[in-house]
Chain A
Amino acid sequence: MDITNSPPIDQLGLIERAAKFRSRSIKKDSKIQGLELALSMIDLTTLEGKDTSNKVVQMCQKAMHLHDGLQLPNVAAVCVYPNMVKVAKKTVGDSGIKIAAVATAFPSGMSNQTVKVEDTKMAVDQGADEIDMVISRGKFLEGEYQYVFDEIALIKEKCKKSRLKVILETGELGSPDQVRRASDIAIKAGADFIKTSTGKISPAATMPITLLMLEAIRDHYVSTGKMVGMKPAGGISDAKLALHYLVMVKETLGDDWLNNHWFRFGASRLANDIIMQIQKQKTGHYQSADYFSKD
């Protein structure tokens, strides 16, 4: 298998195409429907050195009670560090909300494979439904594509039944061509999802980069019939932008990906803006941001 044979990407054309999705005008019912869909795709996230059990519990409560005055779907998952999986799991109970844990020496990935495997195992053993791993960007930039591939395959094996999201950290890869190559490697190595960013590096998710990853997913599906999910993470904080991401998914991959099994937003601030917009669509006016809980 040739893991380096990815199609070239023209950056200007890519940016131009992505901008066209932003010109779609989403109004009325299609807006509410889209906003509710986006809400159901969110992975509420806290990944800080100062995270505590209490903070995680509060975020899990928020996940289950987004805004009780409105009939809203739950978010898809909460995303935490491995040592917070247990408390998160206990808090969300049988609400259907998934627990995602970052692993493999997140966010830098600067450790050896033994540590990365142990990190993953711990999260899986604690009950994480999903593992968000980071690729070894240093190895990738050295041209050690086989190493990167093997590492993803190894972690995938350790995930057992948990779904594996592979974070490419696109902001560190340097060019769209490299992002496409990393996407192809991750997909072929067994990723259930590919994900743009850790949220620790700027730029995080952008529409052009997400588009080219969607195209990698599409090309893989068309030739193998195997679906892979997509998770843009970081930088998506307003409802309108989220809708345009969904437009992009709809027009690139189609209906099968328009659900939270195959598409996620890695975002925390996004939820409140979406709720505020839904409230506005339903009542005709905006409410103060202070009506929406910030956990």
Chain B
Amino acid sequence: MGKENSFSLKFDTDWQYDKAPESTSHIQLKKKYDLFINGKFVQPKSNNYFWSVNPANEEKISEIAEGNAEDIDIAVKSARTAFGKWSKINPKERGKYLFRIARLIQERAREFAVIESMDGGKPIKESRDIDIPLAAAHFFYYAGWADKLDYAFPNQKISPLGVAGQIIPWNFPLLMAAWKIAPALACGNCVVLKPAETTSLTALKLAELIQDAGLPEGVINIVTGDGKAGAALVNHPDVDKIAFTGSTEVGKIIQRSIADTDKKVTLELGGKAANIIFEDAPIDQAIEGVINGIFFNQGHVCCAGSRLLVQESIKSIVERKLIDRMKNLIVGDPLDKNTDIGAINSKEQLKTIQEYIKIGLDEGLKMYQADVNVPKKGFFCAPTLFFEVAQSSRISKEEIFGPVLAIQTFRTVDEAIEKANNTPYGLSAGVWTDKGSKAFNLSSQIKAGVIWANTYNKFDPTSPFGGYKESGFGREGGMHGLEAYLKVD
């Protein structure tokens, strides 16, 4: 190990894959979407609409209603009214509605996947194979809990909270809606959901599906709009619970605004996860895990493995293998079935990422960017590595939320643990080693909500997810996810 001779592989070949675009002919999108309140689509009080833009070609897709505090108030009232009946119906019946939603998502999976990729920029293979199936899986999972809550909390008295205000991010639009809605409904709550401004479409398609599922009016209300609508929801006096997934900055604002109320809250915020490779790791699989850890969904993942901690003895091998692997990443049209990395979600996010790349270069860091042909229109960013990054660098300290990996080194296990924990965040981490004992040791010493051993970015509805420190609190998923939506006496 250590320094190595290196003969390079040639990945430019005459054999290039032809375009393989997923068809869009089967999807149905309206030109204009209203707010979904009390089981109906209604115009926003402001009468204002904003465009949802396809980040891969900057084309306008649909107009989205701009909800304001007045709309939020109506939505909360309709949820409150619906709560009376919904919380009292036979739990088995609640489960049936959730099963129905799950099955309808499966039936319309292809349409949801295409719209998710058009609206948010993620590659179709991810929306098709991960986002949509997982969203359905969450509804299936919590549908099963609806009539078994007493078994989850034996000898305790449980009751639903009431109206849940749920604010979700733009990185996994439908999946985050499912994470929030499914447990809330299973526990007997009603919800007002505020999707992210740039990615409202699949939530609105979900609203149509909810109508088709025959869910009682007002149980789920979806109010689109910008941060002001979100703030109105957080500050509404008749909301019992706030569930937020998004930036740490906004999470802090939310916590401040509800500080003198008795609202329950769960926050799932940012992260700067360490993905740690030891010299005894299964190295080729680790490389794949690092690639998946940082470039999955263009790096727009709160639990992304954005800091690679590599043991010094294998540094040069790991760096070379990463670069070889990156030469085979296909960046481009999210709807092409061969695309590995799609479009950055918005112009603003692309600007943020580019600013961080500039910061890295200004700090004098050595950088590698994959030589990829990014389309001229649309928001794209080549996958990027920064080498020999120190703990003091902003590249290793701050969440970039893009396809940018900071590579750091360590010498001993203790140093790896210290560096992994030396961050205000604590959402996730990865450990790569062939030694089981080492993996267990690290998983007990690293302060992070999720720690993957010899894999990365694996999600399952049965598994709780959530953070330590400034990555938030509360757990979503699994049996733990029920607690966030129940009063337990």
Contacts and interface: CB of A to CB of B under 8 A. Distances in A.
Interface of A: 7-10, 12-14, 16-17, 23-31, 33-34, 37, 212, 215, 218, 221-225, 246, 250-251, 253-256, 258
B262 interface: no
Contact of A9 (B5, B125, B282, B337): B282
A10 B434 CA distance: 8
B282 A30 contact: no
A256 B10 contact: yes
Contacts of A14: 284-285
Contact of A37 (B15, B285, B286, B337): B15
B393 interface: no
A11 B4 CA distance: 26
B18 A31 contact: yes
Contacts of A258: 13, 15
Contacts of A31: 18
Given A224-B5, A224-B7, A13 B285 contact: yes
B455 A255 contact: no
A233 B129 CA distance: 30
Given A13-B286, A31-B18, 5 more contacts: A30-B18, A37-B15, A215-B284, A246-B15, A258-B15
Given A9-B282, A13-B455, A29 B18 contact: yes
Given A13-B455, A23-B125, A221-B9, A33 B284 contact: no
Contacts of B17: 24-27, 30
Contact of A33 (B5, B15, B282, B434): B15
B5 to A, nearest CB: 5
A27 B10 contact: no
Nearest to A223: B5
A24 B10 contact: no
B320 A7 contact: no
B338 A25 contact: yes
B59 interface: no
Contacts of B338: 24-25
25 contacts: A8-B281, A10-B434, A12-B285, A12-B454, A12-B455, A13-B286, A14-B284, A16-B455, A17-B288, A23-B337, A27-B17, A29-B18, A30-B15, A30-B17, A222-B5, A222-B8, A222-B320, A250-B11, A254-B10, A254-B11, A254-B13, A255-B11, A255-B14, A256-B10, A258-B15
Contacts, number: 101
Contacts of B320: 222
B276 to A, nearest CB: 15
Interface centre among B5, B7, B284 (most CB of A within 10 A): B284
B20 interface: yes
Contacts of B281: 8
Nearest to A34: B15
Contacts of A23: 125, 129, 337
B282 A7 contact: yes
B288 A16 contact: yes
The DSSP consensus for interface residues of chain A is: helix
A254 B286 CA distance: 20
Contact of B9 (A13, A28, A212, A218): A218
Nearest to A16: B288
Contacts of A26: 17-18, 20
Interface in B187-208: none
A221 B8 CA distance: 8
Q: How large is the interface on B (under 10, 10 to 19, 20 to 34, 35 or more residues)?
A: 35 or more
Interface centre among B8, B18, B288, B434 (most CB of A within 10 A): B18
Contacts of A7: 282-284
A9 B284 CA distance: 8
A27 B18 contact: yes
Given A10-B282, A218-B9, A256-B10, A30 B16 contact: yes
B261 interface: no
Contact of B19 (A17, A27, A212): A27
B6 interface: yes
B41 to A, nearest CB: 36
Interface centre among B285, B286, B338 (most CB of A within 10 A): B285
A10 B453 CA distance: 11
Given A27-B18, A223-B6, A255 B284 contact: no
Nearest to A257: B9
A251 to B, nearest CB: 4
Nearest to B320: A222
Nearest to B281: A8
A256 to B, nearest CB: 6
Nearest 3 CB-CB pairings of A with B: A13-B285, A25-B20, A10-B282
Contact of A255 (B7, B13, B286): B13
Contacts of A13: 282, 284-286, 288-289, 454-455
B150 interface: no
A256 B11 CA distance: 9
Nearest to B17: A30
B280 interface: yes
Contacts of B288: 13, 16-17
A105 to B, nearest CB: 33
A28 B328 CA distance: 20
Contacts of A218: 9
Contacts of B348: none
B255 to A, nearest CB: 38
Contacts of A37: 15
B337 to A, nearest CB: 4
Interface centre among B8, B19, B337, B338 (most CB of A within 10 A): B338
A222 B7 CA distance: 4
Nearest to A220: B7
B489 interface: no
B12 interface: yes
A267 B376 CA distance: 44
Contacts of A222: 4-9, 320
B105 to A, nearest CB: 21
Interface centre among B8, B282, B289, B434 (most CB of A within 10 A): B282
Interface string B452-466: 001100000000000
Contacts of A17: 284-285, 288
A261 to B, nearest CB: 15
B7 A225 contact: yes
A257 B324 CA distance: 15
A112 to B, nearest CB: 37
Nearest to B279: A7
A27 B15 contact: no
